[in-house]
Chains A and B, each alone.
Chain A
């Protein structure tokens, strides 16, 4: 962790300890949430999109200002069928603007709402090195093919041959932490008998309440095609390149062990305020229990390829009822 980041964490922690949680609503004025509003918005998300659940998390890490059983929200096993760079290329090709549009970038030079893709011709070497989308190829061919021969003779095939296993000693698979073997683990080298199954990265996405910024905060826990934990750095491949390493950083999760990628919340309030203003200008009265739906749409511009946004169909404010 960079020193300045570390110092800021210490500062933030101290402020969080000595200041009480927000109790007065400033949702429309500042785009932030009080603790109870976070719970209300979370309850609504869980009710409307039941793949999300509240978690209690580790007892030692619980925040006293949140209900014990509602410490953070999580949705698991969310597919990420391709890397963000490929989406950006398509996006550039289409020449469109992203989601909420970056109409006033002047005072938003962090690029939160900026148009999305990279200019053509600046494609980095990394794109070349990235493995081609095997999963996409399968998709293009249409349906997932039928079951492979692996199931055929039951006991012979289901139980790996013990003798073979003892002789070859090849069961310690390629080191996922080493960048040298990244590509081979990324591609499906390990289970050839299974290669008709669509293989894709998946994510567990969690939303915590950040007391300092008084906004929700999104965390990404990635798994590779073999369902092994993804090194947090590799998560950057699934993040819009405008945000990788800038607004998306790797930090300690407040409730879970280990380092996780997170969309830094320092601009969340301001961005949410803008979204809310846009809605109000269109005659929609935003309701606080819809906050997380709006919030997830905004997060979708940061992580364009992770398919968690199930909230599109829901009304966002009272006038649309």
Chain B
């Protein structure tokens, strides 16, 4: 395995994958029938993800029954509801559930994506967001849905200077120290679901700090890496969360060459062979700082999905199968 050093290459991000647990649709159905009725207002969701934990399978953003707010009228779903589960880092999102197929198709997906991307730009604490539009057909128990993971477009795009396995990028002492501090970070209920962080490496000794401590520790070490929980398993590309992260770092800290760390696990423990260390060159356009600027955004998944749950939801079929 050799490091890739190619100043002319555009950094490519592995798109986020999504998965909706059956429980989510059950709960959405009862919310629709019991309280929401025909109300099509957007609903705040909490999705969950975790770092990649298998060399061949990327992790995905998952919607569970608990992703929906307990009280449907209270549309702001507070993130502090769920905390401290290492396999469930909360990601805020918005659901637009339409009552008809026509209104689903009529949704202006470009504008919706822009709105969400703007939220990313406004609130740097939430670099990762998602958006779902859906048509829940409660007569046929069909759930048509389409995910987007809004990402701000860097223009010109970020260029990749080098990227390699963390094991190869660091010496043995640094690697061991980094594994140890990451396992500690992941084992503490205070930090286990905090997906963006800083790694400082000094005299072969690694420390993890919160992102907000950047000012305080930028001169502390020989190496400073912007770390994040990477859901992707690709050996040569970082996952989707890095995209907004780079834009944020470039804008907030005015750094042109950003060193990053894609944190990945095996069997629930730090795996530096799978994790990546890389460097990207980012040049933010000037107009980003102008107040009226609305960033260009991308992130719709290529296609919607349709889930049919008549087998498990249709009372008539259930009655037949139980007889």
Binding site for B on A (CB under 8 A): 1, 6, 49-53, 58, 75-79, 81, 139, 143-144, 146-147, 150-151, 154-155, 158-160, 162, 166, 171-173, 175-177, 190-191, 193-194, 197-198, 200, 202, 204, 221, 223, 226-229, 231, 256-259, 307, 310
Contact = CB atoms under 8 A, between A and B. Distances in A.
Contact of B312 (A147, A154, A257): A257
B56 A76 contact: no
Interface string B114-149: 000000000000000000000000000000100000
B303 A144 contact: no
B303 A191 contact: yes
B57 A227 contact: no
Interface stretch (B85-93, B199-207, B208-216, B281-289): B85-93
Contacts of A256: 21-23
A79 B54 contact: yes
B75 interface: no
B267 A310 contact: yes
Given A53-B87, A159-B300, A173 B23 contact: no
* Candidate in B21, B62, B300 with the most chain A CB atoms within 10 angstroms: B21
Contact of B12 (A151, A175, A197): A151
B79 interface: no
Contacts of B59: 77
Contact of A227 (B19, B23, B113): B19
B321 A147 contact: no
A176 B62 contact: no
Given A50-B86, A258-B23, 13 more contacts: A50-B187, A147-B234, A151-B12, A158-B299, A159-B109, A162-B109, A162-B110, A171-B304, A175-B308, A200-B56, A202-B57, A227-B18, A258-B313
* Candidate in B18, B153, B237, B303 with the most chain A CB atoms within 10 angstroms: B303
B312 A158 contact: no
Contact of B235 (A6, A143, A155): A143
A81 B296 CA distance: 38
A162 B308 CA distance: 25
Contact of B17 (A75, A78, A158, A227): A227
B85 A53 contact: yes
Q: How would you classify the secondary structure of chain A's contact residues: helix, strand, loop or mixed?
A: loop
A160 B300 contact: yes
B17 A155 contact: no
Contacts of A58: 23, 65
A226 B17 CA distance: 9
A200 B233 CA distance: 13
A123 B159 CA distance: 53
B300 A198 contact: no
Contacts of A198: 56-57
B268 interface: yes
* Candidate in B19, B105, B313 with the most chain A CB atoms within 10 angstroms: B19
* Candidate in B57, B62, B105, B311 with the most chain A CB atoms within 10 angstroms: B57
Contacts of B53: 51, 77
A76 B109 CA distance: 30
A192 to B, nearest CB: 9
A159 B110 contact: yes
Contacts of A147: 12, 14, 234, 236-237
Contacts of B57: 77, 79, 198, 200, 202
Contacts of A139: 56
A166 B322 CA distance: 41
B218 interface: no
A222 B319 CA distance: 24
